[in-house]
Amino acid sequence: MDRPDWAPEGIDIGRPSAARIYDYWLGGTHNFAIDREVARGVTAVVPDTARIMQANRAFLHRAVRFLTEQGQRQFLDLGSGIPTLGNVHEVAQKAAPDAKVVYVDIDPVAVAHSRQILTGNDSAVVIQGDLRDVDRILNDPEIRGLLDFDQPIVVLMMAVLHFVPDSDDPAGIIARFADVLAPGSYLVISHGTQDTMSDEAKKVANENFTRTSTPFESRSLPEVATLFEGFDLVEPGLVWSVQWRPEHPDEVGNNPERSAAYVGVGLKR
């Protein structure tokens, strides 16, 4: 397989990546045949998959716009993925030109492409990092150079925590970030779930994601709720992604559970 110009040297283009699979579902072009193969395998048993990802993206847009309206101007996007139309910096800086955004992702393709997009934008940076390595992220000079931790910061964990197994203690990871956040900071989470999937769909989806470096870890509503410890959920609380402050009732539909992701925005006490 030929390596495209946008793919940095050193990445394994023969192994699927969750970030590139997500990019494919969103209609992006930064994915390989192996990523598309996994995506199609999941879609075969979960036909709503692309719609689920698009609903998640729409929630991100609504949450960022809401937070800029609350006066938030600093955003730390952990597990940011491969940029597609409507990134955090585009939404935030359109509403508030002085907004500052840091992207963090473990995937070198996501980081390389983000750097291309952010060229010339002095108020947004991207670093390669694993959100589980909290100390490294919090002490990164680029992050500290752009964000002021004495002021409120919005931490986003969008469609990433379901790739963090219980053995890595996702609640503990969030707590360590929360410890350094100023009061008035926010936590934004979207978390995929298999609560409404059939046993067959769960089996096939899990088998496909096991092929990636980041197997899927489904969590229930009460389990996702525990991730907001120390934060007060803003209205409407922890809900399906299409139910969080929809711009039109038609966005919710008759079966909001088909969006297959629990989402919430929490304010640090």
Q: Write the CATH number for 165.
A: 3.40.50.150
Write the burial class of residue 142 (CB in 10 Å: 0-12 exposed, 13-18 middle, 19+ buried): exposed
Predicted TM-score (pTM) of this structure: 0.86
Question: CB neighbours of 73 closer than 8 A, spacing ≥ 6?
Answer: 92, 96, 98, 99, 100
**What does the pLDDT read at residue 213?**
56
Q: Is residue 143 part of a domain?
A: yes
Is 43 a member of any domain?
no
Residue 169 pLDDT: 97
Beta strands in the chain (DSSP E): 74-78, 100-105, 124-128, 154-158, 186-192, 231-233, 239-240, 261-268
Q: Residue 18: its pLDDT value, please?
A: 75
Q: Tokens in use for 26?
A: 């969103």
Full residue range of the structural domain in which residue 181 is found: 49-197+216-268
Residue 18 is assigned to a structural domain of this protein: no
pLDDT value at position 200? 67
Which regions in the chain score pLDDT beneath 50? Answer: none
Q: Do 216 and 22 form a contact (C-beta atoms < 8 A)?
A: no
**Beta-strand runs (E) in 160-201:** 186-192
Residue 72 covered by a domain: yes
Task: Write down the pLDDT at residue 243.
Answer: 96
Residue 12 in domain = no
Place of tokens 């969750």: 18
User: What pLDDT was estimated at residue 198?
Assistant: 63
| pLDDT tens figures, 201-241 | 666 655 655 555 567 788 999 999 999 999 999 999 999 99
Residue 67 in any domain: the answer is yes
Report the pLDDT value the prediction gives residue 123, as an integer from 0 to 100.
97
The pLDDT of residue 202 is: 60
Residue 9 lies in a domain: no
Count of domains forming the chain: 1
**Is 6 part of a structural domain of the chain?**
no
